[in-house]
A and B are shown apart, each in its own frame.
Chain A
Amino acid sequence: KQEVTQIPAALSVPEGENLVLNCSFTDSAIYNLQWFRQDPGKGLTSLLLIQSSQREQTSGRLNASLDKSSGRSTLYIAASQPGDSATYLCAVDSGGGADGLTFGKGTHLIIQP
């Protein structure tokens, strides 16, 4: 059974810092990995999707990497801003789209102005 772990569970940093969020998964047989952000009481916003054949994806200040063999992904946020404060979730697709995503518990990020 796939399990996804995110470390740290919470993180508070001053504005402007570069930071890394970590995600690990137990079964390397994945189809893709997706990073989301969730604002309090809201739904999920998709940030980046990395297919199993890819090593990384970039969108603006965000860069996500995937090392399938070691079961790890990182989300790098450059020049953090207060608006980046949210819970960041990673999720893996182990079933080719039909079995749903397996989510980590998330990293609660606070960017101090």
Chain B
Amino acid sequence: KAGVTQTPRYLIKTRGQQVTLSCSPISGHRSVSWYQQTPGQGLQFLFEYFSETQRNKGNFPGRFSGRQFSNSRSEMNVSTLELGDSALYLCASSLAGTSMYEQYFGPGTRLTVT
């Protein structure tokens, strides 16, 4: 069974631009969560989607948004990029978005903002 895939793996953008990252969950998984990992803050929760609905969002500005499609694939978008948005962005999928199931992480997208 294929794992969680994320595209692209690496991205370099300029301040002020916008970026879209993609996540394909494990087949059959309906919940997708997004996290930002930086050396200073560690891993921080961005948002979680289940059956195309955002159920919760972490403490991030409105420049960070996302969506989930009917096939459970998810995208996150960051508009008006800032230098501080440079990070590893990880997505995780789980079977049903409840605490009963493990979360499986993808390899991440490394975003560098210059």
Contact = CB atoms under 8 A, between A and B. Distances in A.
Query: Which bucket holds chain B's interface residue count?
Result: 20 to 34
B97 A97 contact: yes
> Main secondary structure on chain B at its contact with chain A?
strand
Query: Which bucket holds chain A's interface residue count?
Result: 20 to 34
A45 B90 CA distance: 12
Contacts, number: 73
Interface of B: 4, 6, 31, 33, 35, 42-48, 50, 55-56, 58, 88, 90, 92, 94, 96-108, 110
Interface of A: 31-32, 34, 36, 41-46, 49, 51-52, 89, 91, 93, 95-106
A51 to B, nearest CB: 7
Contact of B102 (A34, A96, A100, A105): A34
30 contacts: A31-B99, A32-B99, A34-B103, A43-B4, A43-B6, A43-B106, A43-B107, A44-B90, A44-B92, A44-B105, A46-B103, A46-B104, A46-B105, A51-B99, A52-B99, A91-B43, A93-B99, A96-B99, A97-B31, A97-B98, A97-B100, A98-B97, A99-B45, A100-B45, A100-B46, A100-B56, A101-B33, A101-B45, A101-B103, A103-B43
